[in-house]
């Protein structure tokens, strides 16, 4: 994801996209380690920015009304879909993450337009225009 959009996600959802090392709350002896997210950031295209933004808006709202705080561990594309690995989601929030993952396989990862899973060297989600661009 472009540094500008990633910075916007980090600024809008600082509790989800924390760069702080995370320890084990049940075991203070376990040293805190930086999350993969802190190290690698959002590893997907800009086309999923709105999807991730909408997901985080809902996750954070759920926290506001009593759900746990979700903390992103790793956010990336895999097999054409969004993977949003995190700590803390309850079943309700896990459902939101699942829907976002499913929707990502219908939205072009490059531009966000309607897309489809395209089996190429790697499976990617692309709109017709970017599917064509990948093959040129
Ligand atoms: Zn596209």
pLDDT tens-digit series, residues 31-83: 777 777 777 889 999 999 999 999 999 999 999 999 999 999 899 999 999 99
- Residue 121 banded pLDDT, cuts 50, 70, 90: confident
Using the mean position of ligand 1's atoms as its centre, give its distance from the Cα of residue 47 in Å.
Answer: 7
Using the mean position of ligand 1's atoms as its centre, give its distance from the Cα of residue 86 in Å.
Answer: 27
* Prediction pTM value: 0.89
Using the mean position of ligand 1's atoms as its centre, give its distance from the Cα of residue 108 in Å.
Answer: 5
Chain mean pLDDT for the chain: 92
The boundaries of the domain holding residue 17 are 3-135
What does 66-109 look like in DSSP terms, one character per residue? TPPPPEEEEEEEETTEEEEEEE---HHHHHHHHHHHHHHTTB-T
């Amino acid at each position: 994801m472009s540094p500008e959009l990633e910075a916007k996600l980090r600024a809008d959802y600082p509790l989800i996209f924390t760069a702080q090392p995370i320890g084990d709350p049940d075991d203070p002896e376990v040293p805190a380690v930086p999350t993969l997210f802190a190290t690698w950031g959002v590893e997907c295209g800009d086309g999923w920015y709105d999807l991730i933004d909408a997901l985080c808006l809902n996750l954070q709202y759920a926290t506001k009304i009593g759900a746990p705080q979700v903390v992103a561990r790793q956010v990336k594309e895999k097999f054409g879909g969004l993977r949003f690995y995190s700590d803390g989601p309850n079943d309700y929030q896990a459902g939101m993450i699942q829907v976002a993952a499913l929707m990502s396989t219908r939205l072009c990862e490059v531009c966000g337009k309607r897309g489809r899973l395209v089996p190429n060297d790697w499976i990617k989600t692309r709109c017709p225009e970017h599917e064509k661009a990948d093959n040129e």
